[in-house]
A and B are shown apart, each in its own frame.
Chain A
Amino acid sequence: MKTSDILTFECETGNYHTFCPISCVAWLYQKIEDSFFLVVGTKTRGYLSQNAPGVMTFAEPRYAMAELEEGDISAQLNDQKELERICLQVRNDRNPSVIIWIGTCTTEITKMDLEGIAPKLEKQVGIPIVVARANGLDYAFTQGEDTALAAMTHRCPEINPRVMNQQKGDAAKLVAVDVSPSDKLFDEKIGLNKGSLVLFGSLPSSVAAQLNLELKRQSISVSGWLPSQKYNELPALGEGVYVCGVNPFLSRTATASMRRRRCQLIGAPFPIGPDGTRAWIEKICSVFDVKPDGLGERENQIWKILIDYLEIITGKSASFMGDNLLEISIARFLIRRGMVVYEVGIPYMDRRYQAAELLLLQQTCRKMRRPMPRIVEKPDNYSQVQRMHELQPDLAITGMAHANPSEARDIDTKWSVEFTFAQIHGSVNARDALELVTRPLRRGVDSVSDCRRLSRQTLDVQQS
């Protein structure tokens, strides 16, 4: 295969498997505790959201379908009246603090004016209604979260300069408790010059707390997260607020907070893996004029803890088929630990939002003397399978549609959806991320003789 020193980007046909972006509901409703997600669409979408998250949907979820019937599509029924009836029912059943409408392909095609109806109904129902158009016409899988968070940036309160200063004072005081007096002066200096920091991206609260702590070690306090645990606790945005993403698929949220809320975006690699976490913190520190302290030591420490996993993956090769946009960051993390990555498939590549991550990927490849992976946007799964057949990577990171068939063809597979649900952010969770990656490599099912290739299709070929 061809290798090159610069990153190459290709774009294929877009015939690939991924989840519909409405599946973001599955983790967002858990994150935002007082929310209710209403997916406005047809049975096709409902069936997905019930099947994709599997067991989770059975546990009394705070989401439902507003299932469109023939009368809705042929406009015999009035959208606004129908939605009003349903939202009142949701209010009576669940009494949420916010209802989030997820627009689907169907509402796009029928041009249902969700954004227009929402403000009217908001008054009648008395609950805020946020509209996110997370449809499969425009977006893939995790980008659903992006549309939802972008819609929510508009609901964040405007930052009040006076309160901001006070908060900064408080933060400086808090920090002062566990730093030496000389640092205290330094902190107050930042407090005077710099704005507050809001992080965006939905993470489990424990992971968010860990990242907060990592930054606090560098005397940087996080003033809020988008999304917050509760809708009423959305962070204040506005001029002078710095925002920084924790996930690679949040480009619309980044754009919305810059253009519509006049925040400043910190473009950093994403805190996935110890290297990513370190680079992420360093970048934030540089913006806040803080000299990072002890990061190198900390990174080395984490790598040391991971030594048993690193032995498994060093020298092994991997291919990403691409479905959740985390691919670049995870590939960079794996290359840093000595893996060879042949191909990184990715549904959509925002080269501006991911610029720092791409740069780190390049640096990592040079440093580790590994070939640059080919980055394939909108991949074609059929061609990818052919390429994988040729290259025979030790590990394929694919969606669930291809996982079992690849295993049957003797290619160890990690299904990629798990990365969106597992805790992989921050130094602390690097172990979890590697736990996932190495799982297929650690299984050791070779003991059953002659069971490597189990596909029925290949058997047929041999027989005929």
Chain B
Amino acid sequence: MKLAYRMYAGPAHIGTLRVASSFKNVHAIMHAPLGDDYFNVMRSTSERERDFTPVTASVVDRHVLARGSQEKVINNISRKDEEQHPDLIVLTPTCTSSISQEDLQNFVDRASLSSESDVILADVNYHRVNELQAADRTLEQIIRFYLDRARKQGTLDRSVANAPSANIIGIFTPGFHNQHDCRELKRLLGELGVAVNQVIPEGGYLKYLRDLPRAWFNIVPYREVGLMTATLSEREYGMPYISITPMGISNTADFIVQVGKLVNVWAYALLEKRLNYKLYVDNQTKFVSQAAWFSKSIDCQNLAGKEAAIFGDATHAASITKILVKEMGIRVSCSGTYRKHDAERFNEQVQGLCGEVVVTEDHTEVGDTTARIEPSAIFGTQMERHIGKRIDIPCGVISSPVHIQNSPPGYRPFLGYEGTNQVADLIYNSFHLGMEDHSSDVFGGHDTRSISTKSLSTGRSDINWTPEAESEPNRIPGFVRGKIKRNTEVSARRNNILEITIDATYAAKEKSSS
């Protein structure tokens, strides 16, 4: 058992549902108790989704527990088949089904006999994988299923397209700024003369998957989801892939160099010419993206040597670290990710760029580290934003998990050249607010910024509270209690008091109100 207050990545089935509901006309049926279908709520609110989320539950209740699902799952599958005629129904196991150990594959086999839709069982083990790994697997599973079938039926189109083209793999819902990134990627590829063959899974129809191998190469913009599919197509269909995330000026340039290499492999054979993107990159870097000029401008001078802490998924945390250090001259004291199973690669990416690397799924560890190093700004997830609020440090949100405010209607890509502009804004605004705050402190503001007020850890204090003093903070409304308690401890420490009596609490209160 593990005491956990918050979690970064969700349970496995969320990943499966995210992939399934991103495809067009795919329905997911969860084998889960009532209330576990909150994915629908997340999708319909945080993404402001207009359409009913194609996810239903085959509800596990007491009867199912006692007698097994029996016909229930199969009936639910055939009912959905008749009602909505999906192309594919994905039966999704949850922790409940993994514990109750029902033979879901059997249900799938039986249901697929009678239903017109294809039916598959998502191959994810609840205990072994998290949301992102599960999404990666499910995507690969679906692609493999349809490519294998097309191959068997002889409908697989393996002829390479005449003009340069690419698949974008791993854009899905609800992903952090995925929609905007996708649009920016398409634009970027368009300017490079590369057509987009398919985007999967977002908005993709299964019937077109057989044309997937026609693209010259695959693009996997995010490390989290899509790599398994990309390696599958490399192994079985000889399709190369690019896994560089075009986030930030230098990463985008690297990405374009890769595109150039892969395009030229076929371009020379098919079109008898070589494409050169060097001029394009130069022009974009200098004039379309404002980021390079922005870092050179005197405004950005003020940021030099400022410290930042970064935490998020592997893709965003690594890229933002690189941008801050290499492109804006900001010191990154700490960079971290919650993607533990990708730790090696993350270390490699941020090596030499930051003071320390934190790889953890424990959000209190992130909080304590941030509090200890006291950066001028944090770039992290919504959780880091709240850590920042508590210890009074501004935070820019760069990665999921996120709130609805991180699904902006306005165009906010993180990738490509427009992405560099957006990221520059985000970074600059975070620091700028920090400086304003600082100057208000200097001019007669409150001076409460000492290290001990910033500790987020609980129960690690060397100060004792007498029982009656202990009851004192309990009379204070819950939401400010922690702060007042901390202030009391700070005041006690300043006066070398090691035991807090009721007098000490009042003394501290007087001091803070005066």
Contacts and interface: CB of A to CB of B under 8 A. Distances in A.
B175 interface: no
A136 interface: yes
Interface stretch (B39-47, B277-285, B342-350): B39-47
Contact of A405 (B34, B52, B386): B52
A55 interface: yes
A68 interface: yes
Interface in B356-408: 382-383, 386, 390, 403
A65 B50 contact: no
A257 B99 CA distance: 35
Contacts of B38: 19-20, 48, 51-52, 401
A106 B62 contact: no
Interface stretch (A176-184, A289-297, A332-340, A454-462): A454-462
B4 A42 contact: no
A137 B41 contact: no
Contact of B35 (A19, A59, A64, A404): A19
**B-side interface size class:** 35 or more
Nearest to B475: A33
A90 B61 CA distance: 31
Given A50-B7, A58-B382, A400-B41, A18 B35 contact: yes
A83 B65 contact: no
B1 A456 contact: no
A64 B5 contact: yes
Contacts of B390: 60
Contacts of A21: 35
Most A-side CB within 10 Å, residue of B48, B458, B470: B458
A454 B61 CA distance: 36
Interface string B51-79: 11100110111100100000000001000
Contacts of B2: 65-67, 69
Contacts of A454: 50
Given A69-B2, A85-B1, A382-B56, A405 B44 contact: yes
B35 A72 contact: no
B407 to A, nearest CB: 12
B83 interface: yes
Contact of A48 (B6, B35, B458): B35
Given A17-B37, A44-B36, A51-B38, A405 B11 contact: no
A61 B364 CA distance: 13
A461 to B, nearest CB: 11
B50 A408 contact: yes
Contacts of B35: 18-23, 48, 136, 140-141
Nearest to A13: B59
Interface residues of A, number: 76
Contacts of A48: 35-36, 38
Given A18-B34, A57-B6, A401-B37, A73 B56 contact: no
A82 interface: yes
Interface string B452-484: 000000110000000000100010001100100
Contacts of A69: 1-2, 127
Interface stretch (A91-99, A188-196, A438-446): A91-99
Interface in A38-91: 40, 42-44, 46-48, 50-52, 54-55, 57-62, 64-70, 72-73, 77, 82-83, 85-86, 89-90
B511 to A, nearest CB: 23
A370 B53 CA distance: 34
A110 B169 CA distance: 39
A47 B130 CA distance: 11
B4 A33 contact: no
A40 B49 CA distance: 32
Contacts of A85: 1
Most B-side CB within 10 Å, residue of A42, A83, A110, A385: A42
Contacts of A65: 2-5, 7
B126 A34 contact: no
Contact of B34 (A20, A46, A51, A61): A20
Contacts of B14: 47
Nearest to A60: B482
Interface string A363-393: 0000000000000000000100100000000
Given A15-B57, A82-B1, A382-B56, 15 more contacts: A18-B34, A18-B35, A42-B11, A43-B7, A43-B130, A44-B32, A44-B94, A46-B7, A47-B7, A90-B3, A106-B96, A109-B65, A401-B41, A405-B49, A405-B53
Interface of B: 1-7, 10-11, 13-14, 32-38, 40-42, 44-45, 48-53, 56-57, 59-62, 65, 76, 83, 94-96, 99-100, 126-127, 130, 382-383, 386, 390, 403, 458-459, 470, 474, 478-479, 482
14 contacts: A15-B56, A21-B35, A33-B478, A44-B94, A57-B6, A65-B3, A65-B4, A68-B1, A135-B33, A140-B34, A141-B35, A404-B50, A405-B53, A457-B52
